[in-house]
Structure 1
Amino acid sequence: MNYEEAMNFIQNTSKFGSVLGLDNIKELLERLGNPQDQLKVVHIAGTNGKGSTLAFLAGIFRESGYRAGRYVSPASFCYEERFRINEENISKEDLCFYMEKIKKISEEMVRDGMSHPTMFEIETALSFLYFLDKKVDVVLLETGMGGRLDATNVVKKPIAVIIASIGMDHMQFLGDTIEKIAAEKAGIIKEGCPVISYNNQESVNEVIKEKAKEMHCKVTFVNSEGIRVLSESLNGESFSYRSSDGRWYEKIEIPLLGRHQINNAALALEALNTIRNYYCISEFQTEDGLRKTIWRGRIEILEKDPLVICDGAHNPDGAKSLLNFLQNNFTNRRLIYIMGVLSDKDYEQMIQILTPMAAKVYTVAPDNARALSSKDLAECVRKYHHDVEERQRLKECLEEVKQQADKEDVIIICGTLSFQNELK
C-alpha cells in the first residue's frame, strides 16, 4: 500500500460515520493482539483543554528524556500529525505499513459478518500499534467525543485518568445537561485508577466524585485557590501553584495565552504528581517542559503588524475563554473578527458571547464538509451585530482585512480548528 492508497482507504471509511460503542473496536484490537494492554496510558476526557493539558505533559516528558506518544484528533496541518511521538509525526512509510495491516483485518471482520471499523476506530487502533512498536514510555490518549462509549475507552488499566474542563458540546450524543455530559466523560474512569480533575462547577465535580467512589478511585481536583497569577502578556504567562498535596511551584512560565491555560497547566501538574512514581522527572525538567510547550491554534499570535490572532475555540465555553483573553488585553483597541464555524456546533451562542467586542465581523466558510456557509453564518451574526460582511475564503479575506486595518487594530480568526491548515 502506497501513501495515496492509504489516504484513499481511510477517507473512504468516513462513510461509516461516527458510531458510539466499543464492540467493534474491541474486536479489531483483539485481532491485532490487543496492543493497548501493553502500554502505559494516561487517558483524558473533557470538553475543552484536553489537547492543551496533554501538550503540557508531553513537553515535560520530552524535556525529561522520555518518549511520549500522542494520538491527536483532529489534526490541524497534515494527516500524519494525528500520530506523534514527542513533536515528531509518524512517517508516511510507517503510516502505510499500519494502514495496510488494519485494512486486511477490517476486511476480515466484514467477511465474518461484522461492521467495518469507522475512521476513528481505525486510527485509534493504528495509534496503539505504532506506539507499541516504537516502545514509547507513555501514551497520552485523548478521547474523541464523550468518554464512556468512545473508541479510546478500551484501555483496561490506565496509569491515570484526567477529566478536563466540561461544558455543553455534542449534546445530541452526550445529553442535554451538564451533569449528563459529565457522566459520559467520567465513563473513562477505571477500577482503582487515580483520577485527576479540573475544578469544574460543583454539580460536575459531584458526578466525578460519585463515579470515582463507585470505581474505588482516589480523585484529586485542581486547587483553584492555590493558583496565583504573576504576569500575563502577549509573550506568555507566569503563575505560582500550591498543589492539592501541598507541593509548591514557585514560578511557572507558559507560552500558551489565556487564563484558562494556567488552569490547564495546573491540571497537568496535578497529573504529574499522581504518576511521578512511574518516571524520574525533576523540578527543573517540569518547569522547562511547561515553558517550551507548543500547541498551535490556541490563541496563537500569527503576525504582529497588524496583530493577527487565531483561536480554534468551537463551543460556548471556548468562546468565553477567548472573550476573557480579549477583555484582559484589548479593551482599548479595535477588534475585527473573521469567523467560520461548523454547522453542528452551537455557533449562535458563540456569536452572542464574542460579538459585543467586535467593531466588524467577516464570515467565511471553513474548508470542512461540515462547514456552515458564510451566508448562513452572516445571517446569524446580524441578529447581534450591525456590521457584517460575507467572504468566500479565509486567505483572500485575511489579505483584504490586513490591507484595510490600522496599525493598532487586532484581527481575530476564530470559530473552528478547521482554519489551521488553511493558515499554514
Structure 2
Amino acid sequence: MQKSRPEITVITNVERDHTDILGNDIRKIALEKAGIIKRGVPLITGCDGRTLDILRAEARRKGAEIMGMGKWNRIARYPGWQVFEVEGLLSNYILKTRMMGRFQGFNLSLSVMTIDKLQMMGTYIPDNSLEKGIEDAFYPGRMHVISEDPLILLDGAHNLSAIRSLKESLIDDFDHEKLIVIIGILRDKEYRRMMEEISSISDIVIVTKPDNERACDPEELYRYIDGEKRIAKSVPDAVDMAVDIADKKDMICVTGSLYTVSEGMRYILN
C-alpha cells in the first residue's frame, strides 16, 4: 500500500497528556510528536522553549522547513463574538469568531500560518474563504455557552494547559457572582495540578466521574480542593446539584474532560 505524503504538518504544542502511554518526560513526548515530521515537508508549530529545540533538531535532520506563529492580538470582544488581528505570511487578517476565549488567538495564528503557507506552495484557496471559515466555525463543548438562565458553560479542558486557558477566560470574559465548577477528569492526566488551578477561582467545586473506565475517582479529586466542595456520583447528578444551588447571577462551568462535557451536554439538551 502506498503511503500518503502530507503537504504540510502542524504540531500545536506539547503537553503532558496521555501519560499512561507517553509517560511524564516532556522531552520524550516531544520526540513522539516529532514523528509526524516528514522529509522535505514544512512544519508549522506553536511550541517554544525545550520542545521547540527538539522539533527544530528533528526538522533539520529531515530537511523540513519549520515555522512558528505570527503575532496576534484580540482587538474586540462582544457577547458571543470576539475579533482578532492576526499576522500571516501573505497578509494581516481581521478575523471574527464565535469561539470564545483569548487563547483562540493562538489557534487562529496557527491556522493562518498553515493556510498562507499552503497558498505559497500552490494550493488554491478562494478569497475570503479563511475569514468565512473562521466566522462559521463552532466547536460544541469548547467554550460553549449552552444555557443563559442559568448561565452554563461547557469546556472540554482536558489537560493542564487547557485548564489554565479556561481559568484565564473565566476571569477575563465572564461576569458572575458565584462560580460553580463541575469537574471530572481522566486519571492519566495531571489531575492534581488541574484541580488546584481551577479550584483557586471557584466558589463551589462539584467533583464527579464520567462514564469511562479511565475516569479518576471523585474521592481522589476531592482531596485537592480548597474551599467549598461536593461529590456527585454522575455528571447528570452534578448538573442537577449545581442548578439547585445556583442563584440568578451565578455561573456553572462543566469541564475536566470531553467525556464529562459530552455527558453534561446530552443531559442539559434532553
TM-score, length basis structure 1: 0.59
Aligned equivalent of 2:123: 279
> Amino acid of the residue matched to residue 264 of structure 1?
N
* 1:132-171 to 2 correspondences below 5 Å: 155-171=3-19
- Classify the secondary structure of the residue corresponding to 1:406: coil
> Amino acid of the residue matched to residue 230 of structure 1?
I
Query: What is the CA–CA distance in structure 1 between the aligned matches of 2:200 and 2:261, rounded to whole Å?
Result: 25
* 1:339-354 to 2 correspondences below 5 Å: 339-354=183-198
1:409 aligns with 2:257: no
> Amino acid of the residue matched to residue 40 of structure 2?
G
Which stretches of structure 1, 4 residues or longer, exceed 4 Å deviation after superposition? none
Give the Å deviation of 1:323: 0.7
> Amino acid of the residue matched to residue 157 of structure 1?
R
- Classify the secondary structure of the residue corresponding to 1:357: coil
Aligned equivalent of 1:265: 108
1:236 aligns with 2:77: no
- Classify the secondary structure of the residue corresponding to 1:280: coil
> Amino acid of the residue matched to residue 244 of structure 2?
Q
Aligned equivalent of 1:43: none
Aligned counterpart for 1:254 among listed residues 87, 97, 110: 97
Change in Cα spacing, 1:173 to 1:404, as seen in structure 2 (3 Å) is closer
Aligned equivalent of 1:302: 146
Q: Is the 8 A contact 1:309 1:411 kept in 2?
A: yes
Query: What is the CA–CA distance in structure 2 between the aligned matches of 1:280 and 1:246, rounded to whole Å?
Result: 14
Aligned equivalent of 1:323: 167
Aligned counterpart for 1:217 among listed residues 51, 64, 87: 64
Q: Is the 8 A contact 1:333 1:410 kept in 2?
A: yes
Aligned equivalent of 1:357: 201
- Classify the secondary structure of the residue corresponding to 1:377: helix
Aligned equivalent of 2:238: 397
Q: Is the 8 A contact 1:234 1:257 kept in 2?
A: no
Any idea what the Cα deviations from partners look like across 1:269-325, whole Å, max 9, x if unmatched? 111112224532233111000000121111111101111001111111111111111
1:334 aligns with 2:175: no
- Give the aligned length: 264
Structure 2 gaps, min length 5: none
1:190 aligns with 2:38: yes
Aligned counterpart for 1:418 among listed residues 227, 234, 259: 259
> Amino acid of the residue matched to residue 242 of structure 1?
E
Query: What is the CA–CA distance in structure 1 between the aligned matches of 2:86 and 2:79, rounded to whole Å?
Result: 21
Larger Rg: 1
Q: Is the 8 A contact 1:242 1:248 kept in 2?
A: yes
> Amino acid of the residue matched to residue 204 of structure 1?
T
Q: Is the 8 A contact 2:185 2:215 kept in 1?
A: yes
Query: What is the CA–CA distance in structure 1 between the aligned matches of 2:133 and 2:122, rounded to whole Å?
Result: 17
Give the Å deviation of 1:233: 4.0
Give the Å deviation of 1:156: 4.9
* 1:74-153 to 2 correspondences below 5 Å: none
Give the Å deviation of 1:346: 1.4
Structure 1 gaps, min length 5: 1-33, 38-154
Query: What is the CA–CA distance in structure 1 between the aligned matches of 2:249 and 2:125, rounded to whole Å?
Result: 43
- Classify the secondary structure of the residue corresponding to 1:325: helix
Aligned equivalent of 1:227: 72
Q: Is the 8 A contact 1:341 1:416 kept in 2?
A: yes
Give the Å deviation of 1:246: 5.0
Query: What is the CA–CA distance in structure 1 between the aligned matches of 2:140 and 2:235, rounded to whole Å?
Result: 18
> Amino acid of the residue matched to residue 160 of structure 2?
P
Query: What is the CA–CA distance in structure 2 between the aligned matches of 1:235 and 1:356, rounded to whole Å?
Result: 26
What is the root-mean-square deviation in Å for CA atoms of aligned residues? 1.8
Aligned equivalent of 1:386: 227
Q: Which of the pair is proportionally richer in helix?
A: 1
Query: What is the CA–CA distance in structure 2 between the aligned matches of 1:157 and 1:292, rounded to whole Å?
Result: 29
Give the Å deviation of 1:175: 4.4
* 1:163-182 to 2 correspondences below 5 Å: 163-182=11-30
